[in-house]
Structure 1
Amino acid sequence: MDDRGGHDGGSFVAVRRISQGLDRSNACHTTDEAVAGSTAWLGRSLSCVCVQRKEGDSRPSFDLTPAEEDCLQRLQNRLDIAYDSSIPEHQEALKALWKAAFPEEELSDLISEQWKEMGWQGKDPSTDFRGGGFISLENLLYFARNFQKSFQDLLRKQEGDRAMWEYPFAVAGVNITFMLIQMLDLEAVKPRSFVGATFLKFLSENESAFDLLYCITFKLMDHQWLAMHASYMDFNTVMKSTRRQLERELLQDNVNRIEELPSYGLLTR
């Protein structure tokens, strides 16, 4: 990981429903409206939430069926694609995300102050995709298209008794993609945990399982956020709680596919 050195250890600025972003450098960049807060909360959440194993830990290894191997390889191919603003397909996906999020508002340009309305760090969302790659954009777009009501509720913070300082929607989405990749150990040749092995079984039966799990996770995270009466600096704690809940649900004996996860019921189309 490179370090772009976004801060010198001092305070940064934050406001309610702030547009913030992150990359794997764990640097955090903010808008110019504000009050003083503490540093780089959302960037730090990646290392704190996702990397939970110690050096030397032994893990079980799980053999895969040919179907599971094929599905894992296809998913890993998606994980390897970085967002590239020069690729027309990527540009079109970003435009489609805007249209799905704000159908009543015309996007002036791919680089625009309007993106802050969605919770990106600034006027160019491409800088934020470094934390999750092109798949994090695909995840958001899948969510917007398949669970429109839940997507809009989270984007516009329409449900529940919200905190004065809210998490930024789009940046939280990139965090969720990254967390799932780490939780499921998707960059390994084969799974090294029961959670990862269980997910690959579901993936072999439904190639949209990762995108669907993303939607469930986003909604579950917000559900936990409200239940915990969380605010801006509690995001890391909420993500840890969300991960633990997902792991429990994936390992339930009566869950045989993603749609049977208890938290799937939180989603509305």
Structure 2
Amino acid sequence: MYNIWWFFTSYLRSVLKWFLRRTTGLCELQRICYGEVSGAPRISAVEKSLNLSKSPQIKKLIAYLNDVSDNLRLKGSTEREILKGAVSTVLLVKRINPRIHFQFVKNFSKCVEQIWGYRQLLAEVESLRNIKFDSNNLEHEAKLLQLWEALMPSVELDNRISKQWQDIGFQGDDPKTDFRGMGLLGLENLLFFATEYRMPAQHVLSHSHHPVYGYCFAIVGINLTSMALHLLRSGDAKTYFYNTSKCLPSIRLFHQFYSYLFYEFDRYWLECKPVDIMQFSNIKLKFENNIRTSLMDTNAVFKINVSVDTV
């Protein structure tokens, strides 16, 4: 039954594309780049169209771009050459005159940059997650101490191994054990939130010390790193990145997405008025579902809604 339905919809789509091409003089990609608003609506539609293409040349181009982004090669002058080559391939396959359709070239190039920039970002984030926190690594240790200084600027840390770490929400005397699941990514997320959004982070930290609704700031933060990564992997986060990124998506943009999740989760947690920390899993699941629902709106743009927002 599924195969029959797939055949029917595929055939119908081909007939519709042929009809629209004959009546408008434009291929599907042109109609999307001219007709859809910029950002997620246009980029997502281009992405879907490319993935459904039956053209051998387009399929080969997609495989090439996947390999480039998976190996983090979409950068600098190389990026410009790759984008130029991708656009040239599509112009040739679709028989589009770039001198007449120069706006298509511009719009389509932007879409390609965002689609495979997102894929490259995922590879970069995964790579960071796979780096284990190493207490013998001076750079890792420096970042950990920067986190303390950002969150507790008026309190001096007595020792590297200290119960004081529990004041910012780590489980024991040494934070390194809490980074096992998310690796260096968990630390860099926390550090970015604490330094780039200093006032919101202090605001959230104060809530984590609430006598009734308190929680472990750092542990919750690492859990939210996991959530942000899952949203990135599943593609749900594409709405955010496609609507926010002005150029090739960067790791900084992922940190900003994480910071938004942390700030909003804290607000949602307090709204739920949990009886105890044992309700964390259920509340986190509901919050994640709410975020997924929000991301289904292709026009959605997420920002930390405070006066010090620097996004």
Return the TM-score normalized by structure 1.
Answer: 0.65
Alignment check: 8 A CA contact 1:79 1:133 kept: yes
Counterpart for residue 234 of structure 1: 279
What is aligned with 1:265?
A: 305
C-alpha contact (below 8 Å) 1:97/1:144 kept by paired residues: yes
Letter paired with 1:214: Y
Matches within 5 A, 1:150-169: 150-157=200-207, 162=210, 164-169=212-217
2:185 match: 135
Contact kept? 1:217, 1:242, Cα under 8 Å: no
Sort the Cα spacing of 1:153 and 1:141 in 2 relative to 1 into closer, same or farther, 3 A: same
- 3-state DSSP class of the match of 1:128? helix
Alignment match of 2:228 (pick from 148, 165, 180)? 180
Q: Is the 8 A contact 2:118 2:238 kept in 1?
A: no
Aligned-residue offset at 1:234: 1.5
Say whether the 8 Å CA contact 1:219–1:267 is kept in structure 2.
no
Give 2:279's aligned amino acid.
Answer: D
Of 113-122 and 229-238, deviating more is 229-238
Residues 67 and 222 (structure 1), Cα distance of their counterparts in 2 relative to 1, 3 Å cut: closer
- Which stretch of the first structure deviates more once superposed, 195-204 or 174-183? 195-204
- In the alignment, the residues of structure 1 paired with residue 169 and residue 307 of structure 2 have an alpha-carbon distance, to the nearest angstrom, of 21
**Offset at residue 71 of structure 1 (A):** 2.8
TM-score (norm 2): 0.57
Deviation at 1:163? 5.9
Cα displacement (A) at 1:115: 0.6
CA distance in 1, matches of 2:286, 2:308: 22
| C-alpha separation in 2, matches of 1:144 and 1:110 | 19
Counterpart in the other structure of 2:11: none
Identity of aligned residues (%): 29
User: Mapping of 1:1-269 within 5 angstroms?
Assistant: 65=112, 66-157=116-207, 162=210, 164-185=212-233, 192-193=234-235, 195-199=236-240, 201=242, 202=244, 204-230=248-274, 231-255=276-300, 260-261=301-302, 264-265=304-305, 268=308
Once residues 196 and 216 of structure 1 are traced to their aligned partners in structure 2, the CA distance between those partners, rounded to angstroms, is: 12
Contact 2:143 2:191 in 1 (8 A): yes
- 1:215-250: CA deviation from partner (whole Å, max 9, x where unpaired): 111111111111111232211122112211221222
Alpha-carbon distance in structure 1 between the residues aligned to 2:307 and 2:291:
15
Q: 1:134–1:158: structure 2 CA closer, same or farther, 3 Å change rule?
A: closer
SS at match of 1:264: coil
SS for the counterpart of 2:131 is coil
SS at match of 2:155: coil
Aligned to 1:45: none
The one-letter amino acid paired with 2:253 is: A
Separation in structure 2 between the aligned mates of residue 177 and residue 149 of structure 1, nearest angstrom: 20
> Root-mean-square deviation (CA), in Å?
2.6
Letter in structure 1 aligned against 2:270: L
Query: Does 1 or 2 have the higher relative contact order (CA < 8 Å, sep 6+)?
Result: 1
Unaligned runs of 5+ residues in structure 2 are 1-47, 52-61, 67-111
2 CA distance for matches of 1:109 and 1:233?
31
Point out the structure with max Rg over C-alpha.
2
Matched letter for residue 239 of structure 1: K
Gaps of 5+ in 1: 1-59, 186-191
Partner AA of 2:295 in structure 1: L
Alpha-carbon shift at residue 152 of structure 1 (Å): 0.7
In the alignment, the residues of structure 2 paired with residue 154 and residue 136 of structure 1 have an alpha-carbon distance, to the nearest angstrom, of: 17
Structure 1 87/153 Cα, relative in aligned 2: closer, same or farther at 3 Å? same
Q: Measure the CA separation in 2 of the matches of 1:180 and 1:71.
A: 13
